[in-house]
Structures are given as C-alpha cells and as structure tokens.
Amino acid sequence: MTSTPTQAARHRPASTPEGPAGPVARTTRVRRAVAALSFRNIGAVYVWLLIVVLFSVWAPETFPTVTTVKQVLNGNAVAGLVALSVVPPLAARVFDLSVAYTMSLTSVLTAWFLVTAGLGPGAAIALAMTAALLIGVVNGVVVVLLRVDSFIATLATGALIQSLITMVTNDSSITGVKLLAKPFASIAQLDAGGITLPVLYLLLAAVAIWFLLEHTATGRRLYATGFNADAARLQGVRTDRLRFLTLVASALLSGFAGIVFASSVGSGSPTAGTPYLLSAYAAAFVGATQLRAGRFNAWGTVLAVLLLGTGITGLGLATSAPWAASLFTGSVLIVALVLTGGRIALPALLRRRKASPDTDGAAGPAPTTEKGIGR
C-alpha cells in the first residue's frame, strides 16, 4: 500500500540537526549567551573584577585575602538591606526617602525599649517594627490617598520621624548592657565561619524580592505600574493598592535594617540611617542597569552594593586619603550608569543625521528607535 504525499509528510521528522531548524536554534542560543555575558548586561561584574585586580596589585598583602571577602560581605549587609528596601517602590515608580529615618527610628526605639523601658528583646523588636509599619501606612496614605508626590511626601514624613528621634534621644546615642548581651547581640553578631547573620538576611531579602518581581503576577503588575500606570489601570491593575503596599514593605525592611544595625554596633544611634540613603538609591539605580536592564531588580542591586563595598574596603586597606572613598563612589556610579545604561545619545544622533532626508526634500528611510534613546 502506497502512502500519499500528505501521509508521508506526517511521518517525516520536523527538523534534523543538519536541517534549517538546527543551525537557527544553535545561533539563537549562542546569541542569547553572548547577550547575557555582554558588558551592557553585566558591566558591573566586569568593573567589579577590575577593581579586585587593581587593589590586589595595589595592596597585595592585605586585600586579596579571605578576611577581606568576609569584611566586604559583613560590612555591607545592612547597606544591602536598605538598598533592597527601595527596590519595590521604585519598581512601581514611587520614591521612599524616609527609609533612612525609619532605620534610625527603629534603631533608637529598640535600644530605648531595652535599656530605658526594661522590656525583653522580643517585645522591643515587635514594638519597633510596629512603628515601622505605622510609618509605611502613613506614607501610603499621604502618597496614594492624598495624592502628594512621593518624593516630597516621604521627605516630609522623614523630617517628622527625625523630630521624633530627637525627642526620644535628645540627639544622643542610647547604650546599655542589654544591647551588648545575648540574645539581642546575636541578631547581628552571630556568625558561621566568619560570615555574620546579616549576610543571610540580605540573601533572604534578595531572594524574596527577586521571586516577587520575576515570578509572580504581582511583580508583573508592579512593573506595569512603574512603566505606565494609566495603561496598567485600564487593564484592571489596582495601581494604588500596589503603591501603598510597596511603601509599607519598604518601611518594614528598612526598619528591620535599623534593628540589625543596633545589634551590630550595640547602641541606638539617632543618625544610624543617614549615611545609607544616598548609597541605597545609588545601588538601586546602578542595579537597574544590570541583569534586567531598565528594571529595578534585587540581584542587580546586591551586585552594585558589593561593587561599591569592595572599592571602599580596598581604599581603606590601601591607606588612601580620607576623601578617596567619596571620590571613588561618585566616579564608579557615573561610569557605571554611562557605560551600562545605554544612555549615550551622540552616536545614535549622528546615525540619524546620516539617515535624514536629502536637501531635495525626498524622504529618507525612517530612523529606527534606539534602546535607551529618548526615554
């Protein structure tokens, strides 16, 4: 019995390794691999490696050691927590400038409840986190319900929080034996192999935020809200509720960072969070150029925190000038944003001029839209 051409086609393999589909699939995989490892996608990794090589040559006796690795991880865990706290609001295009003040408040409240009020560590931490929750709710009400710009609103609530901190502490750090004793001291000072618990907190927070943004419908809605809130609202996304919840989550995570900080230094400082505000936003914005370019993401932010922390640690070990750390931070931020952000418009502008209409008025080919140009 002879088969018809149609029946033969049904039994023919869809593609063979030598057929058209084989080379195309391999080429696609190679292109994806090259794109994933390109400087544009993970430029901060290459800058980080360059910094490691530079300081290994500059300070060969002190920098390239296991102790330095532990110092970078342990010393930047709190900074990483604060930086991660601003990622969800930024993904929804909301600024929370009160994170530094929230961190300071939970630091001093925990110390005050332990030392002055005589409460146990569990009760002190619970009350401090309740205060952080209230700050998040207040921020949400002012920004979402009262429609005040998030930049101004959270800056204003930050000023109110600072006044409360001054009232509680009289601008003096709160110290006491309870802050240095277990179990409170173990929150930040307990270690395994020289790696302290805050590094684990940072890892868990990064995994949670990564999973939320990349693998849940809520994360996709957050990005949609950040890219175009009006379009997301027309698609049924409850943008106001998402923004409200991101502000609450930001306050809780930064408040937890304040408790970890108080445990690590053994005191409640009224200015605990102040140095972390600029670095947190710097890390978040640099992180948005990595791995998921154009999107604020958890692992890019952690990578930026470690990059800056490595450089500052290296400068300290190389006994550089006191102003070198600030110079390094500013320089790396500018270079990283320029080189990996895809925002240099001059080459694209020159190409567009070459493709412009001729002098006789004939229309030339429409210029293609460059990624990152005009956005």
CB atoms within 10 A of CB 176: 16
Angular region, 228: left φ>0, alpha ψ -120 to 50, beta rest: beta
Q: What whole-number distance in Å separates Cα of residue 81 and Cα of residue 123?
A: 22
Which ranges of the chain would DSSP assign to H, the alpha helix? 5-11, 21-36, 39-58, 66-75, 77-85, 87-91, 99-115, 121-140, 150-169, 177-180, 186-189, 197-215, 217-227, 229-234, 239-265, 276-287, 298-317, 324-341, 346-354
Q: Which span out of 5-19, 23-37, 222-236 was modeled with the highest average pLDDT? A: 222-236
What class does CATH assign to 51-319+327-336?
mainly alpha
How deeply is 190 buried, as exposed, middle or buried, from its count of CB atoms within 10 A (0-12, 13-18, 19+)? middle
Nearest to 106 by CA among 256, 208, 325, 282: 256
Q: What whole-number distance in Å separates Cα of residue 205 and Cα of residue 96?
A: 18
Q: What whole-number distance in Å separates Cα of residue 350 and Cα of residue 308?
A: 34
CA 254, 277, 261, 330 torsion-angle sign? positive
**Residue 96 and residue 220 in contact, taking contact as beta carbons nearer than 8 Å:** no
pLDDT in tens, 234-261: 999 999 999 999 999 999 999 999 999 9
The domain segmentation of the chain, as residue ranges, is: 51-319+327-336
Which of 164-173, 321-330, 360-369 bottoms out in mean pLDDT, i.e. has the lowest? 360-369
Asked if residue 126 has pLDDT above 90, the reply is: yes
Asked if residue 53 has pLDDT above 80, the reply is: yes
Specify the pLDDT at position 335.
65
Please report, as a single letter, which amino acid is at residue 367: P
pLDDT in tens, 73-86: 999 999 999 999 99
